[in-house]
Chains A and B, each alone.
Chain A
Amino acid sequence: METLLEMRNIVKRFGNLVANDHIDFEVRRGEIHGLLGENGAGKTTLMNILYGIYQPDEGEIIFEGKKVRFRSPKDAISAGIGMVHQHFMLVPRMNVFQNIVLGYRTPHDPLINQKWVEERVEALSEKYGIDVALYEVIMNLSVGEEQRVEILKALFRDIKLLILDEPTAVLTPQEVDSLFYALKSMTKSGLTIIFITHKLKEALKVTDRITVLRRGKKVGTVKTSETNERELTRMMVGRDIVLDISKPPREFGKEVLRVEDLWVRDERGNYAVKGVNFSIREGEILGIAGVSGNGQRELEEAIAGLRKVEKGRIILDGQDITNKGVMERESIAYIPEDRIGVGLAPSLSVLENLMLKDFKRYRKRFSLDFDEMEKRAMELIEEFSVKTPSIHSAAGTLSGGNIQRLILARELSRNPKLIIASQPTRGLDVAGIDFVRRRLIDAAMKGAAVLLISEDLDEVFQLSDKIAVMYEGEIRGVMDRKRANYEKVGYLMAGGLEVTV
């Protein structure tokens, strides 16, 4: 197969950080090339350079045999490169048609040739098996549909190379399968795909070759058919880490949390949680699997006291806390999904963030006892190994993993009876994931009740005693971990009904 793209000796620095350190990267025409690495390995930076978002400090790019220099995504697009970002770049209030033609000159420009666009979209949909409702507003689409729009938008521009940045992060297992199917059919018609991921299984399943990056450097390129999970792990993290965690058995104590027929509205006033029931006992972890946006956020916020309950009851430790303030929920630890937006005041110091909930305890007459607070903060960053230059550094400057450690330090050190952990390892590297999961298991073994909300099925299966699936505001089937399997849970996550399993 001929070479379509070559990136030679690419160097990109951000201040003192070398995000890409002399990387050579070569892609052949018609292949699916996996770009694998942990968070912060430099995958997205490398692709942003290719797509013209960043300019490389050193190195050169050769595309279709010619040396090229992309000053902006516009240059990259006109050369035939498309990119679907991890966070979609669609205009929510516009419909699919408008999003597709946005920034594109149809024949008879400046008028939009509607018929021409419709025919073209139809031809593309048929060729690659990507279905979209052309006149639906983006806001009303599911995440999977939005992704299809993004892909279609790229294909519409006659691209030869498609970059997908972590495309499966937001999809159900079934949607992942259909995405992979579409990708394979695209390569059959000559398209080349770069698939950025940090998930080994997916890389092994869909790619032809895999390039692994680690800390800004290229580790190597391997043929997918000649490698395995173990080798890729070693390449990715530099040592063998097998995430072999599971929760030891334990007797469950008395009931800590009981949720009865809970109804909660979202921002737009629609019911996002519809009549949810469950309970969790001491020492027990209940894992709620499900694709984001099915009411998990509203559920966790209602239990944490940040959102009004319309109907139903929340009973914590025998006391009805429905619609009581956050202060009446001292014994709840809450690790929110949106760590930086909710769980952290990024411009304040590590010290202040550690004391966010407890500072009032340090009141000494008219002042706060900052010496005591600092002492406690030092203990906490030691115990939870939060890596920070100082406790006075702004918390927002820490890495993602350390931010999560900081939040865990604050929440778990308060001896909670109930822990709500929402997507606790999303975006963390292997070491961070390992740390967070072990801490949650420890806390449960010491007697806390844990409500784990996660999209990551591995995580749900590793940690939970009981597994439930949340779909469109309802809890579908609470099952014992021993009776659950990936297929069953994946089926429920995609909206399947329990009775038909």
Chain B
Amino acid sequence: MRDIITPVASIAASLVIVGILLAAIGINPLEAYAVMFTRSFTSKFGLAELCVKTTPLILTGLAVAIPLRAGLWNIGAEGQLYMGAFAASVIALYSNLPSYAMLPAMFLTAAIFGMAWAAIPAVLKAKFDLNEILSTLLLNYVAIYWVEYMVYGPMRGKEVYNFPYTDLFPDAATLPRFFGTRFHLGFFIAIIIAIAINHIVNKTDFGFSLRVVGANPKAADYAGISRQKVIIYSMLLGGMFAGMAGMIEVSGIQLRLRPLISTGYGYAGIPVALLASGNPLLVMASAALFGFLYVGGSVLQTTYSVPVSIVYVFQSLIVLFIIAGQSLRRRE
């Protein structure tokens, strides 16, 4: 019961503060929230967009949540997502694979590149106890600028009028869409992964080890659980999911590689995971909430010309409140 109080109170408090901000610039917050809600939930396109935004958030939420269970902070989901997107784009544009092999190959390489990007901080943490918050965060910039360099240079397309884009992917390299909207296959993939990972975390011996390392690393040593292995595997899993999110974004939405493919999905994975307190099933719910904020944010922008940054304010507030709530609980 008390596990629910912190997230619910955090959401409520953030709604109130954002409401005050909206009121300060002359917008009735209740009306604004009502508009956000109806536009997102009452039309086919609103719902489709909600799913489209929720999909990468589920995956980046998992990318943060799994290492979090072992007590590790993966701030690098954003960079892992970019590396996944980059890898998938290379396959899509240059591999000439037969169409049936195209999507699976893109998935695989995106997963591997995401993992490889997470492997660097993981190994540094496991072998030298280097702070993973710093290393994952800094590697984000490397990945983001790497993609930027590629699309400005070697990978710039022939039919893009000098924009920093690659050419559009061939049809075989795009995820199937449904209902005449942007709603795509990636949504189901994310949900299947979340359910599978929930099983792994709660029902397998790996998940057990993960919990022990997260709860008390010394007790893990004491019980003969290899802390290094758990650190590396949990970070690799996280990197894999973030890499897949990158592939899904380029293959399902952008249909090409370009800068700013992610509007902070990797960072939003942090509040998503925190709000779900690391539980993979709840990650789906909190990802949906944040997806709604993204959609609602653009609604606010088109209706009231409120900058979409209000979404990031909301996100940050939620993180602050959750952390505050946790430290309050510790003091009791």
Q: Give the interface residue-count category, chain A.
A: 20 to 34
Pick out which of these stretches binds chain A: B147-155, B205-213, B289-297, B320-328: B205-213
A352–B223 touching, CB < 8 Å: no
Residues of chain A within 8 A of B221, CB atoms compared: 306, 326
Chain A proximity of B331: nearest CB distance (Å): 14
| Set A327, A334, A347, A370: member contacting B222, Cβ < 8 A | A334
Contact of A368 among B205, B218, B224 (CB under 8 A): B205
| 6 nearest A-B residue pairs (beta carbon) | A326-B224, A345-B215, A345-B216, A367-B203, A356-B223, A345-B219
Q: Which residues 336-378 of A sit at the B interface, judged by CB distance below 8 A?
A: 336, 341-348, 352, 355-357, 359-360, 363, 366-368, 370
Measured between beta carbons, the chain A residues less than 8 angstroms from B211 are 345, 348, 352
Residue of B nearest to A347 (CB): B215
Q: Are B215's CB and A326's CB within 8 A?
A: no
Partner of B199, one of A306, A329, A342, A367: A367
Q: Does A325 contact B (CB under 8 A)?
A: yes
Contact present for B218 and A341 (CB under 8 Å): yes
Q: Mark A399-442, 1 if CB is under 8 A from B, else 0.
A: 00000000000000000000000000000000000000000000
Asked if residues B219 and A343 are in contact (CB atoms below 8 Å), the reply is yes
Expressed in whole angstroms, the minimum distance between the Cβ of A389 and any Cβ of chain B is: 15
Chain B residues near A305 (CB, 8 Å)?
224
Chain B residues closer than 8 Å to A355, beta-carbon distance: 208
CA distance A357 to B223 in the complex (A): 5
8 Å CB contacts to A: which residues of B188-228? Answer: 199, 203-205, 208, 211-212, 215-216, 218-224
Contact with A along B72-91 (1 / 0, CB 8 A): 00000000000000000000
Contact residue among B199, B203, B219, B224 (Cβ-Cβ distance under 8 Å from A344): B219
- Kindly list chain A residues whose C-beta atoms are within 8 Å of the C-beta of B199: 366-367
State the CA gap A297–B215 with chains docked (Å): 22
Set of chain B residues within 8 Å of A334, measured between Cβ atoms? 222
A348–B199 CA distance with the chains assembled, in angstroms: 18
Interface secondary structure of B, over-half rule: helix
For B223, list chain A residues within 8 Å (CB): 326, 356-357
Chain A residues near B220 (CB, 8 Å)?
A: 345
Indicate whether A357 sits within 8 Å of B215 (C-beta atoms), given known contacts A352-B208, A367-B199, A368-B205.
no
Q: Report chain B residues within 8 Å CB of A357.
A: 223-224
Interface residues of A in 167-208 (CB under 8 A from B): none
A359's partner among B208, B218, B219 (CB-CB below 8 A) is B208
Contacts of B215 on A, CB cut-off 8 Å? 345-348
- Taking beta carbons and an 8 Å cutoff, which residues of A are in contact with B? 304-306, 325-327, 329, 334, 336, 341-348, 352, 355-357, 359-360, 363, 366-368, 370
Q: Compute how far the CA of A370 lies from the CA of B212 in the bound complex, rounded to whole angstroms.
A: 16
Please give the distance in Å from A407's CB to the nearest CB on chain B. 10
State the CA gap A343–B223 with chains docked (Å).
8
B219 x A325 contact (CB < 8 A): no
Interchain residue pairs with CB less than 8 A apart (21):
A306-B221, A326-B223, A336-B222, A341-B218, A342-B219, A343-B219, A344-B219, A345-B211, A345-B219, A345-B220, A346-B215, A347-B215, A348-B211, A352-B211, A356-B223, A357-B223, A359-B205, A359-B208, A360-B205, A368-B203, A370-B203
Determine the distance from Cα of A359 to Cα of B211 in the docked complex, in whole angstroms. Answer: 12
Report whether A344 and B216 are in contact in the complex, using a CB–CB cutoff of 8 Å: yes
* Residue contact B205 to A363, C-beta cutoff 8 Å: yes
Does B212 contact A356, Cβ atoms closer than 8 Å?
A: yes
Majority secondary structure of chain A interface residues (helix, strand, loop or mixed): loop
Residue of B nearest to A353 (CB): B219
Given contacts A325-B224, A342-B222, A356-B223, A368 and B208 within 8 Å (CB-CB) = yes
Q: Which chain A positions have C-beta within 8 A of B204?
A: 363, 366-368
Nearest B residue (CB) for A366: B204
CA distance A6 to B208 in the complex (A): 54
CA distance A357 to B209 in the complex (A): 10
CB distance B224 to A327 under 8 Å? yes
Using Cβ atoms and an 8 Å threshold, which residues of chain B touch A342? 218-219, 222
Measured between alpha carbons, how far is A367 from B207 in the docked complex, in Å?
Answer: 10
Nearest A residue to B222 by beta-carbon distance?
A: A342
A348→B71 CA distance, assembly (Å): 14
Residues of B within 8 A of A345 (CB): 211-212, 215-216, 219-220
List 5 additional A-B contacts (Cβ < 8 Å) besides A306-B222, A357-B223. Answer: A343-B222, A347-B215, A355-B208, A356-B222, A363-B204
Nearest A residue to B218 via CB reads A342
**A327 CA to B209 CA in the complex, in Å?**
14
Please name all residues of chain B whose beta carbon is closer than 8 Å to the beta carbon of A348 when the two chains form the complex. 211-212, 215
Query: Given the complex of chains A and B, what is the CA–CA distance between A367 and B208 in angstroms?
Result: 10
Contact check, A341 vs B208: say whether CB atoms are below 8 A apart.
Answer: no
B222 near A346 with CB under 8 A, answer no
Q: Which residue of B lies closest to A394 (CB)?
A: B215
Q: How far is the CB of A462 from the nearest CB of chain B, in Å?
A: 27
Name B59-101 residues within 8 Å CB distance of A: none
Residues of A within 8 A of B208 (CB): 352, 355, 359, 368
Residues of B within 8 A of A366 (CB): 199, 203-204
Minimum C-beta distance from A277 to chain B (A): 26
CB distance from A354 to the nearest CB of B (A): 11
Contact residues in B for A352 (Cβ distance below 8 Å): 208, 211-212
Chain B CB within 10 A, most for which of A304, A341, A345, A359: A345
Q: Please, which residues of chain B bring their CB within 8 A of the CB of A360? A: 205
- By beta carbon, the residue of chain A nearest B221 is A306
Residues of B within 8 A of A304 (CB): 222
Instruction: Give chain B nearest CB distance to A119 CB in angstroms.
Output: 43
CA distance A345 to B216 in the complex (A): 5
- Closest CB of chain B to A345's CB: distance in Å? 4
Contacts of B222 in A (CB 8 A): 304, 306, 326, 334, 336, 342-343, 356
CB distance from A483 to the nearest CB of B (A): 36
Q: How far is the CA of A412 from the CA of B215 in the complex (A)?
A: 23
Complex Cα distance, B15 from A273, in Å, reads 59
B2 to chain A, nearest CB (A): 12
Chain B residue with the shortest CB-CB distance to A360: B205
